[in-house]
Amino acid sequence: MCVGYEDNGKSVMLKVITRFLGLENVSSKTLHSLVKERFATADLFGKLANIFADLSAKRLQDVEAFKVLASGDRISAERKFQDSFEFEPTAKLIFSANTSLKPTEDMENAYYKRWILVSFNLRKYCFFCKRPIVKDPDLLEKLTTDEELSGLLNLALISARRLLAKRTFVKSPTTEEVRERYQRLSDPVKAWLDDRCVLGAQYETDKQEAHSDFINYCWDKRLNRLEINH
């Protein structure tokens, strides 16, 4: 799940992956439809990835179905007016969202361990030259030329060879680390309150000052920022 504030490059990233894999190899079902709608999972058959942008933050009603899809376990699918069939889905589920889906308080670790969280936080200044970053409206076209996609394939092959040899990703966070990060991404205000605030009837502070501290906290922790609702 690519998570971050709007206009941070999430959609560009997903479109690059889609063009890299080929439109015919990608489905585009929402996660909620995959676990709820009767005929949705059939669209995963024969696909390399299911890619959907701007995922809703509302809670999943069927976590068990999500876990099966994410693990690639054998499932039963059905197309409208056709017989059901069984297959093992090979499509990787790739989504983007402003905030991660709301978890329940008692959400089990088996849910969190199936997520790889990628934070998208556009920097104000270039990490190397320190100049202000200017968004490029033509970035997608520049990244998806035949030459660039060929170079991306070479990088993917190098990474795949290393992954097959080591049988694991270089940086694999623990389930507890994913859980903590996921919960912070889903509720940045609570994360800020837990880390930066002392609550009590005897305390008060300036709204603008508190919001400024919250924004700086989100920048530092790479969390989604919320503006004041005037």
The predicted-structure confidence for 26-75, as pLDDT tens digits, reads as follows 999 999 999 889 899 999 999 999 999 988 878 887 888 889 999 989 99
Which structure tokens are listed for 114?
């199936």
Assess whether pLDDT exceeds 60 at residue 230: no
Contacts of residue 38, defined as CB under 8 A and 6 or more positions apart, other chains included, come to 78
What does the pLDDT look like over 107-121, one tens digit per residue? 888 999 999 998 887
What pTM did the predictor assign?
A: 0.84
Distance from C-alpha of 191 to C-alpha of 213, rounded to nearest angstrom = 13
For domain 2-166, the CATH superfamily is: P-loop containing nucleotide triphosphate hydrolases (3.40.50.300)
Residue ranges covered by each domain of the chain? 2-166, 187-230
Q: pLDDT tier at 227 (50, 70, 90 boundaries)? A: low
